[in-house]
Structure 1
């Protein structure tokens, strides 16, 4: 006989808790008591998450030489000029390139023999016509700017990357600014070159470059090479770039310095001497002693 105090068969006895009678379904364990989160006080800063620790990466440099910057349009031409400088480091290579300009590139195979061991010619497609501007600029550099490898300390450090605005128009503008050429003559020479086709430009360019370099006017070889490779198909764009560079205002540093020896102090106007009649000095021997006045004899009566 089962009493009221005995549990039902098959059920476990449990102690009544505070959640008994709260509507919890039978057979499900009630959720543990969790204290509610205390909201932050008004005006107090929110707690920040813990800072992550780890190696600090250095800030990446930005600029034309940084890895993230786009490649320069002069990059392949700068690379070829490094090849030319390496070829000119030997006496035979420099002599072969200089002789190539004298022969008007009639036998280019000698140029290839000295250039290709140090690099390639980045012409596409690799034909005689597309590689001609590269050989021409290589010979011009060997004649005008390559140091003699036989002299001590002839090797010079690599130049800084060229500015694509420093084209032939810029060179002729410097010639006019430094009074190496008259401004009118510089403009006429640039206009004459700009009106030529590719073959005539290749033929007359050595003389024009020789005149500029004889006056100490620099020529940026990578920029010149880039313009020559674009001339057969984009000559009109190159002409406009030359005109803009020629008429761009030159910085004050490009003005011709005045030597101290050339500056002469201004002279004050000299007063014209007034002619005053002066007595002619006489020597002591020429001076005659003054005679005393003679007394006249008295007449007797």
Structure 2
């Protein structure tokens, strides 16, 4: 007689890290309900972890209880995303919760998709946005981090959402899987940006993103 054993459901290889990334983003959103805490987290914009002394008291306990990533690139990704969330403009803080979190991971927008949406809506200029993505594709994580605050702020000011959990995952793996992630960003950008743009008088002035990210 053969035993009847129910097969365990297949678990995506990155399900644990995806779950932790979403939990972390939710945690930071709750932290940012305090003006004082939000200001402290915002002080880490574009900086390495070693210069984020004001952030430790808010992030170290959570990281300790949720796997505490010791790898430098991974820890910096957590700190970077926390500071970017804290630096959101008021319009983004008041917006509805991110609906993409309910999508399957492979359907959620990465940074390239957000930039493509910004181009499609006339928030960013096509040449500037494409140049910025190609520049980032050639850079290390250390070079990318300082340019993210200006880019994400411009996206959010234009009403373009950023999936922080996806960005966290990509930044954490960037130096190990840069070519793969950069290719995914560029593919998503071109899929999303195609079509008529919708420039509006209220769209914020477009900076030269490639130049800003190269500083």
Matches within 5 A, 1:253-264: 256=198
Structure 1 residue 141, shift from structure 2 partner: 0.6
The whole-number CA distance in structure 2 between the counterparts of 1:236 and 1:172 is 18
Give the CA deviation at 1:170.
0.4
Task: Find the counterpart in structure 1 of residue 11 from structure 2.
Answer: 70
* Aligned: 1:137 with 2:81: yes
User: What is the TM-score of this pair, normalised by structure 2?
Assistant: 0.71
Query: 2:128 and 2:198 mapped to 1: Cα distance?
Result: 17
Instruction: Classify 1:90/1:137 alpha carbon distance in 2 versus 1 (closer, same or farther; 3 Å).
Output: same
Distance change >3 Å, CA 105–CA 210, structure 1 → 2: farther
Deviation per CA, 1:17-64, whole angstroms, max 9, x where unpaired?
xxxxxxxxxxxxxxxxxxxxxxxxxxxxxxxxxxxxxxxxxxxxxxxx
Bigger shift: residues 120-129 or 236-245: 120-129
Query: What's the TM-score once normalised by structure 1's chain length?
Result: 0.52
Which residue is 1:230 aligned to? 173
Partner of 2:147: 204
**Counterpart among 178, 185, 190 of residue 133 in structure 2:** 190
Measured on the aligned residues, the alpha-carbon RMSD in Å equals: 3.5
| Structure with the larger helix share | 2
In 1, are the aligned partners of 2:119 and 2:197 still within 8 Å (CA)? no
The partner residue of 1:111 within 46, 55, 75 is: 55
How far is 1:127 from its partner? Answer: 4.3
Contact map agreement 1:124 1:130 (CA 8 A) in 2: no
SS in 1 for 2:122: coil
**Structure of higher CA gyration radius:** 1
Check conservation: 1:170, 1:242, Cα contact below 8 A.
yes
